[in-house]
Every structure is written in C-alpha cells, then in structure tokens.
Amino acid sequence: MKVRYTLSFLLLLFLFQGLSAQDYLLIRKKGSMRRYEYRVGDTFVYKQKGMKEFFKDRITQFVDSTIVMENNIVLIDQIIEVDVQNAFTNRPQLLLAAERTLPTIGYGLLAIDLFNNTVVDGNEFSLDKGTTITSGALVASGYALKVFRRKRIDLTKEKFEAYIVIR
C-alpha cells in the first residue's frame, strides 16, 4: 500500500514539474495595499507617451520591462496612463458585487411595489413614499460605488508604480 502511494506521489511530481507560476504586470500606489494585476491574455487599455488616445490590446507576453501585445510592444516607461477597469484587483468582492446588484434590487423593489399596488390591490397608479425612498437609496448607493471606483491610474505621478513580476 505504501508503495502505491509513493509511486502515485512520484508520478504527480513528474507530471507537475513543467508547470511554472505565471508572470504578471503589477500596478499599485506606493504605500497602499490596493493593487491591479494584468496577466497574459488580459485586455490592456493604456496611453503612451506622445499620444493623445488610449490603445486597447491583448497581452501576449512579458519580457524584462517590456509588455508584448498582439499589435504592439511597449516598455513600461513609455506608458503614462492605464485604464484599470479590466484589471484583476484585490478590492473586496463584496463591493464589486454590491455595485452590480444594488441598482437591480432597487429597481426590482420599485417594480414589485407598483405591480402589487396597482394590479393585485386594484388601486390607482401611485408610488409609496417609503418604498420609493428605499429603492432610490439602493440605486444611488450602487451607482455611487461604481462612480467612486478608480478607473484610471496616471503613472507620471510618483505615487504610482508599475512593474512586471517574474516568477
């Protein structure tokens, strides 16, 4: 029995020997725990030095301090601004879920109350003050979470840094 476990362990060891950790681009504010990560295959939206518009491209490889993409090769020093909306972040998942679901819950609550008041109870079309305030607060808080989320990082400011983590 011990021989079987030992052979199974050795087999798995040889199978997973070729796997390596994945390299990624890390963008963060110095002194902060918030981080944004881009891995191979992610969509990267950035602005280069000397250009006025943002470029959107898919990352294919990281080499030293260079990002190789499908249509471009860019040094990290050439990037002045990054749109971080598509990046993987360590922002709490609760906040990400709340900004999507709170407006839906607010609109749903208002619709259910209107349906219940007009169709089920047979009253005239009218809004209940308490339900309207509650649904408005849910919708407003969901959109506020989305508005106050960081969307772009200006790498020309010294408080932000970007570098490639090679494992």
Helix, strand and coil content of the chain, in percent to the nearest 5, comes to 40, 30, 30
Give the type of residue at 6: T
In tens, the pLDDT along 88-119 reads 887 888 988 999 999 999 999 999 999 998 88
Question: What was the pLDDT predicted at 17?
Answer: 59
Q: What distances in angstroms separate CA 36 from CA 8, 84, 134, one per listed residue?
A: 38, 7, 34
Mind listing the pLDDT tens digit of every residue in the chain (167 residues)?
677 777 676 666 666 655 456 888 999 988 888 889 999 999 999 999 999 999 999 999 998 889 999 999 999 999 999 998 878 887 888 988 999 999 999 999 999 999 998 887 778 888 889 999 999 999 999 999 988 888 899 999 899 999 988 87
Give residue limits of the domains in the chain: 21-91+152-165, 93-147
pLDDT in tens, 129-139: 999 999 999 99
pLDDT of residue 113: 92
DSSP bridge partners of 59 = 69
Q: DSSP letter for 150, please.
A: -
Residue 91 amino acid letter: R
